[in-house]
Amino acid sequence: MDVNGCQWMSMDVNGCQWMSMDVCGDLDMLCFMLKLADPAVTFHRSWVEAKGEWPDGHQDGSGIRPGDRFETTKDFEAWIKRLTMPADPAMLFSGVQVNTSRFWIVEHETYLGAIELRHVLTPIMLEAVGHIGYNIRPTARGRGIATWALKAILPHARSMGLTRVLLTCDEQNLPSARTIEKNGGVLEDIRSTEIGVKRRYWIDLSGYPCDQAGEESSRSGSNRA
């Protein structure tokens, strides 16, 4: 399909839903292929290597919680199972959790980062967090991967029935602000919140198609949490 001049392709590979876009810049730059993939144990080694690049271990959009273990394949597999299982209905009812779609940003077999889409927003999420969170491993930054990943997840958001999505970033985080603006983000305001001063942007989804994986997830209710 063609979206805003970009060629997109959705496919199923080994049971994982992928969405890819050929990305290339000037003729002097190498083209590379990025994909959004379901979390899978296949990426264990690369994921662990990436985690070591964050000094404090925090990664927006990764779903990591205190006490999670990843060292062994068995630990990693158990964590992925927890990461991708439907949210606890009691937690949903109380507003502690919301249904969330999670994808990993990969290039071939290399993990480059993660991105998540929250299907609904609690009051604090509406105030300061937004629908979408993402991270790119430090050694992969500067290639436009965050901009690509945000664009790649927008058709999934459209398929979930959203007509627009909210994204936020710290007021001084100008690289993140540029990533959002490159994807059509319109600044609503800059406000003080309980987790700091945030820039709040909305992206209109009317120009994006629905992706098949998201439509099937919406119909079945089998959402990642």
Signed CA dihedral, 29, 33, 38, 39: sign only: negative
- Predicted pLDDT of residue 57: 62
- Predicted pLDDT of residue 153: 96
- Predicted pLDDT of residue 54: 81
Q: Would you write out the chain's pLDDT as a tens digit for each of its 225 residues?
A: 444 444 444 444 333 334 444 444 432 232 358 999 999 999 999 999 998 898 776 677 677 888 888 889 999 999 998 888 765 554 444 455 688 999 999 998 999 999 999 999 999 999 999 999 999 999 999 999 999 999 999 999 999 999 999 999 999 999 999 999 999 999 999 999 999 999 999 999 998 888 755 544 433 333 443
Radius of gyration, alpha carbons of the chain:
17
pTM, entire model: 0.78
Helix (H), strand (E) at residue 154? helix 145-159
What is the Cα–Cα distance from 37 to 192, expressed in whole angstroms? 35
